[in-house]
Amino acid sequence: MKTNLKVLTLNCWGVPVPVACKDHHERMVAIGEKISKSSYDIVFFQEVWKKGDYEILKKQIGSTMPNSHYFYSGSIGSGLCLFSKYPILETIYHRFDPNGYVHKIQHGDWFGGKGLGLAKISVDGFTVNSYITHIHAEYNRDNDEYRAHRIAQSFTTSQFIKLTNGSADLSLLCGDLNLEPVDLGYKMICNNAGMKDSWLEKKSSITEDKGGNTCDCPSNSYVDDKHKDRYPDGKRIDYILYKSGNNCDAVIEECNVTLGRIPGKLFNYSDHEAVEATISLESTKTGPTTTPQNDSLVAMLQECLTILDDGLQMTIRNRRFFILFSIICLILAYFIAIIHIPFPLDYFVTFIRLVLGLMMGFGIVQSTIMITSEVHGLKASRDDVKNLLRSLQK
């Protein structure tokens, strides 16, 4: 038995903030129109934060790809959804913990409840485990305050795939990993989960000159000069990773970077480029399987432990900061309360007391609830890494 499967992944840049996300509605309509006229079998979308955008895509794509699923999570949704020509048999979503900071509103990752979605799809007799994710963004490569969070999410992704893909003929991981090929997180996913990179394994490509780069590409209409200077060729953070099952041989016939400028418009479909791949599947009695290289994996896990331990040390410093912050607010509120302020300035004092009370409450919530949750997430990932490391060393 043999069949071809054509898949695409795209970060749609659907941030529900008009000022921060240009040409939002026009782009979503254009994406839906483009996909509806395509020959894709499975399409993976990230950053579809607004349910209205999902409905736009569903309405346009539904006639050619009638099966779809949106992974709900967090306060604004995970932003992850997929569309398929083939039946979706089962779905599940695993939410990442830790996942950023609630007070970093300008980043917003925490509110999306980021995680890893799985849709099991039946493709002409083959079972395809379709994983989709959007790992926490890297906002400063030189000083990544989320490094421990991103390593925890990468390791969790690799473990989840490894422990759930046993019966699959093909496993796909598609999405914006926010990881470059040189990063530890990317290497961990490929090694521990046994995944291969479609761009590296492809037989052919019509966009070889792009180097597989999908973000901050100079040809993209939404890239500013600052990123063009830092990444003159862009960077590769969007992937189609795959793994053949025991009774299936998967070959990447072609892989391309696609969906650049919208025809007739002066802007792109998204601030990211899309990645597409054509995969041939053939049944075999002893299909190829990828097993992790223990020596290199052990070294990666040990580096993961170092990063997670550093992250835990950072939580201690952050907790001390918020405790001190709350104490200072309390002291200021006390002094304002005992100092006599003449009318009509006493109205301002009431307002200041209210603000100080809210700030103190924020500090208490951060130091007790939010940071404790972060600590538990980092410790859980650290223990999982230790368990795997112990197993490999035996």
Residues annotated as catalytic are: 272
- Cβ neighbours for 268, distance < 8 A, ≥ 6 positions apart: 27, 220, 221, 222, 259, 260, 261, 262
DSSP helix/strand/coil, 178: coil
Helices (H), 171-212: 184-192, 198-201
Q: How many residues does the chain have?
A: 394
Q: Which two tokens stand for residue 122?
A: 């039946």
> Do 131 and 91 touch, CB atoms closer than 8 A?
no
Cis previous bond, 87, omega within 30: no
- Angle made by CA atoms 142, 146, 150, in degrees to the nearest 5: 110
d(CA 102, CA 323): 17
DSSP label at residue 208:
G
Cβ atoms within 10 Å of 9's Cβ, excluding its own:
26
d(CA 126, CA 241): 17
> Do 81 and 54 touch, CB atoms closer than 8 A?
yes
Residue 44 φ then ψ, to 5°:
-115, 125
d(CA 70, CA 57): 11
d(CA 291, CA 283): 20
**Which candidate, 319, 315, 339, places its Cα nearest to that of 327?**
319
DSSP helix/strand/coil, 82: strand
**Which candidate, 276, 275, 259, 256, places its Cα nearest to that of 220?**
259
